[in-house]
Each structure stands twice: as structure tokens, then as C-alpha cells.
Amino acid sequence: MARRRQIYEGKAKILYEGPEPGTLIQYFKDDATAFNAQKKGTISGKGVLNNRISEHIFTMLGAIGVPTHFIRRLNMREQLIRQVEIVPIEVVIRNVAAGSISKRLGIEEGTQLPRTIIEYYYKDDALGDPMVSDEHIACFGWASQDEMHDIADMAIRVNDFLTGLFAGVGIKLIDFKLEFGRLWENDFSRVILADEISPDGCRLWDSQTNEKLDKDRFRRDLGGEVEAYQEVARRLGLMPEGENAVLDMETHRRKRGR
Ligand code: TMP
């Protein structure tokens, strides 16, 4: 494959220059980190699954009118996306208490929240992504009031859609993280959904058993990470029944040295 210019390398993805101006290629790695990269590992096959799951979700969100950076999937680990200027805010939407909110406020994991909560975290690894409020975001100019209005609006629409999508396949959407980016058109910009939506950035519990089908399996050393991600893909109808053809294909190619 011809060498491409690398634009950015994150913890779970790499961005390369795209084929046309204004596009990028988003490559999904198998690397996994937790607790601000204090814990590191690899989940073999995760990148393939997240690429496919995120493609599926972004395509459906596009179809209901949520603007996203997704253009199309290129191959098992890569997708073509629109280049955006990432808003330095991680948007977390919570339906049920788990993780940091449970710890911080002493709420038992699994407690249904009386209403959906949106939280914002300033994207800065050196600071450990501190939680911030609308006031901080406005004060330091990380996003405008109009942008934050659009972001909160989209976050709620995504939550409503995903809650239903997952409920339909026996999964509870506990919480998840979104990122947004600015798309510039001449002198104007609008915010669109960026990054990915996959079990890396969502808490997904089996509706019947509350079994964790997400990155908490890695964070908490529960094991069975790739099986959990596969199960999410399978329930979404993204895996051929009864076999792991997508992953088997890649292992097969790797062994043949392609
Ligand atoms: P938290 O309970 O640790 O704050 O996480 C809330 C949700 O956000 C959970 O689904 C995992 C996701 N998340 C990320 O995707 N990236 C992060 O850096 C953090 C802290 C959380």
C-alpha cells in the first residue's frame, strides 16, 4: 500500500490524509487504554468490530438527520470521514448510574437516573480530562453558546435513537461518550458528530442479565472483551450467524502476510 501522511495518532485510532481535500481516513487499532492510558492493552480484532459497529450507527444517525463526519467504510479497519476541527469537549450522556458518577456521588451502579444527564469533560490528557460546565466552556471559548446548544440537541437525539436501537436487541444503553467537530464552509462553521460510537465509548449491558458488553470488561479485568464486542455486532445484525467470518478473514490474511 502506498504510504500516506499520518495526521494524528490517538489511543485507539489513527487519522491519515484522505484522497480528496477535506477528507481523512480513520484507521481503527486494536489498542485499548483505560484510566487516561494508565492501563494499556490490545484487544485482538477490536478495531475491525468498532469500524463496522460505528459505520452502522453513524449511517443510521445520518438517515435520521443527525449530521456526522462519516462518509463510507473503506475496508475492515478504515473509513473515509470528513475532516473537522474537533471541539475539545467529551460529551457524556448518562441514563443509568455507572462508572465515575457512581464513584463521585455514591450512587449504586445500575440505578436508573430520574432523568438523562449530559456532562462535559475538557479534552486534555495531561489534565486527565477534567469535568467542566457550560460556564467553563463559554469562559475559555472552547465552544460558542450556539455550538453548545446544537451539541446538547444532537446528544439527546443520539441518545433517544441509540436507546431504542439497543433496546430492540436486548441491550441497555447505560451511558456513552460523543465527540463533535466543526465543519467549515467558507467563513461559516457548523458542528457535526465525529469520532466513533462503539463499545469502547459506551456502557452496554445485556437487558436480561446485566452482563457487560463493553470496554468495562477491559477496564475491570473481566476478560472476554472481543467476545462481548462481537456479541454487540452480532445482535446489531453485523456478523454472519454462527461464525466470526469478519475476524477469521483478517486472521487468515495476516497469516498469509498481506
Ligand atoms: P465514566 O463513567 O468513566 O465517566 O464514563 C462514562 C462513559 O463515557 C462510558 O461509557 C465510557 C465513556 N468514556 C470514554 O469513552 N472515554 C473516556 O475517556 C471516559 C472517561 C469515558
Per the domain annotation, does 28 fall within a domain?
A: no
How confident is the model over 139-185, as pLDDT tens digits? Answer: 999 999 999 999 999 999 999 999 999 999 999 999 999 999 999 99
Per the domain annotation, does 5 fall within a domain?
A: no
Bridge pairing between strands 13-17 and 6-9: antiparallel
Per the domain annotation, does 196 fall within a domain?
A: yes
Those residues with Cβ within 8 angstroms of residue 198's Cβ, 6 or more apart along the chain or in another chain = 49, 50, 53, 54, 57, 229
Per the domain annotation, does 117 fall within a domain?
A: yes
Mutate to test the pocket of ligand 1, among 38, 92, 171 (most ligand atoms within 8 A of CB): 92
Q: Which atom of ligand 1 is nearest to the CA of 201?
A: 15
The distance of Cα 101 from the centroid of its chain, to the nearest Å, equals 19
List, chain by chain if needed, residues with CB within 6 Å of any ligand 1 atom.
92, 99-101, 129, 175-177, 201-203
**Residue of the CA atom closest to atom 4 of ligand 1:** 100
* pLDDT higher than 60, residue 256: no
Per the domain annotation, does 16 fall within a domain?
A: no
Per the domain annotation, does 1 fall within a domain?
A: no
* pLDDT higher than 50, residue 107: yes
Position 243 scores a pLDDT of: 54
Q: Which atom of ligand 1 is nearest to the CA of 119?
A: 4
How confident is the model over 15-45, as pLDDT tens digits? Answer: 999 999 999 999 999 999 999 999 999 999 9
CATH number at residue 199: 3.30.470.20
Residue range 191-214: average pLDDT? 98
Position 58 scores a pLDDT of: 98
Position 258 scores a pLDDT of: 47
Per the domain annotation, does 54 fall within a domain?
A: no
* pLDDT higher than 60, residue 244: no
Count of structural domains within the chain? 1
What CA–CA distance (Å, rounded) separates 129 from 142? 14
Position 240 scores a pLDDT of: 80
Query: What is the residue range of 121's domain?
Result: 85-206
Per the domain annotation, does 134 fall within a domain?
A: yes
Look at 3 and 128; give whichever has higher pLDDT: 128
Amino acid in position 166 = F
Residue range 238-252: average pLDDT? 63
8 C-alpha to ligand 1 centroid (Å): 21
How confident is the model over 51-86, as pLDDT tens digits? Answer: 999 999 999 999 999 999 999 999 999 999 999 999
Contact 239, 230 (CB under 8 A): yes
241 C-alpha to ligand 1 centroid (Å): 30
